[in-house]
A and B are shown apart, each in its own frame.
Chain A
């Protein structure tokens, strides 16, 4: 699981939008066809660059939602109402449009299906994106590691990849635990409330199993979850984090 350094310069290239999937009312998956793509590792991200008519450019990072084995590179973007880039990607982008992309980036927040250690994935909101890449990679590569995903979303309608996750949870190695923090549908028999120490203690593997842990989501979510994991006795050097941003003021 050593990191691979990127050799040579990562160049900007044009990605053509070939498919758009409405995941939730606020979230859309964007499949990009890229001519010059040499594969990625599950967990990596790309930089996306937009150029306005007046030449103004903005760049942001997006995790790759597709598996290394998939044909296209898929990004899943959540709209932040007051955001500069995400509303454009979620609401404006059409099939056939092009955006500039460079990547893949990041060699630490990655997972390989050849690794057999139990894996604990802890996602808040759109933090589930790189985990879909890891879960798909696990299936495509026939991984043997047991994977448990703890996924916190506001409500059932805010669950990204809901159907796919439901299907995935049918595999014996994959165990998915969803908690809805704000609103639960009638008859909901899953978990409620935020991912905190009590929740992790209840549903995660015990620290003695030494799982490899990945935590991803808004910064405040990652801080809380990673702190709880350390307090419960998980080894800090087995916990990898990806903070998506949003620390407010």
Chain B
């Protein structure tokens, strides 16, 4: 381990270290990570589809989606580019609600988005009340650069799993790596085990 004698922490002292995963630092800003330009889909053109290894595919329009019961949740988020943001407030629909009516044997999910972005995760990680489809941040409609009109929110995994501009979920019998997962990022991405890159 190299010691950097003149390096001094400027970490915030008002933060409980137990809430910050290894290698992360807390920011009050809201940085943006995306691989390409920001798509701008108006809500009227937005739909959400659950398809793949399911008894029947389902699609919700914006209005149908907004009529589902929604909740406001406050969670900590952790981006693989090292920043964490605590107590972020989101409003959306639990994926339990959206997946509730679907019968499947699948164990994997590939989320897909406008702009061609995809990300994969175990179905179990998003079907037990730990994941949401969110349309508002801090009480205001979600800005396009942060994934609006609707993004996935899976706060217990690194934030690239919380796909921006999400348009649906493909349930799969076999795991299929998503966009960043194919480019060397970890397949699962647990921030508490610092699973940033393949092999971590």
Contact = CB atoms under 8 A, between A and B. Distances in A.
Interface stretch (B28-36, B88-96, B101-109, B118-126): B28-36
Interface stretch (B4-12, B55-63, B64-72, B128-136): B4-12
A223 B4 contact: no
B184 A52 contact: no
Q: What secondary structure prevails in chain B residues at the interface with A?
A: loop
A35 to B, nearest CB: 14
Interface string B3-40: 11111111100000000000101001111111111110
Nearest to A230: B37
Interface string A4-22: 1111111000100000000
> Contact residue range for chain B?
35 or more
Given A52-B9, A88-B7, A229-B37, A3 B183 contact: yes
A227 B143 CA distance: 14
Given A14-B2, A52-B8, A88-B7, A223 B38 contact: yes
B12 to A, nearest CB: 10
A105 interface: yes
B148 to A, nearest CB: 13
Given A3-B184, A88-B6, A58 B199 contact: no
A209 to B, nearest CB: 18
Nearest to B179: A108
B74 interface: no
A50 interface: yes
Contacts of A158: none
B81 A61 contact: yes
B137 to A, nearest CB: 13
B123 to A, nearest CB: 23
Given A52-B7, A241-B34, 19 more contacts: A3-B183, A3-B184, A6-B197, A10-B198, A50-B2, A50-B7, A52-B9, A56-B11, A58-B11, A60-B82, A88-B7, A97-B4, A98-B2, A99-B2, A107-B183, A236-B37, A241-B37, A246-B29, A248-B29
Interface of A: 3-10, 14, 49-54, 56-61, 83-84, 88, 92, 97-100, 105-109, 219, 223, 226-227, 229-230, 236-237, 239-241, 243, 245-249
7 contacts: A7-B198, A58-B11, A84-B9, A88-B7, A108-B35, A239-B37, A245-B81
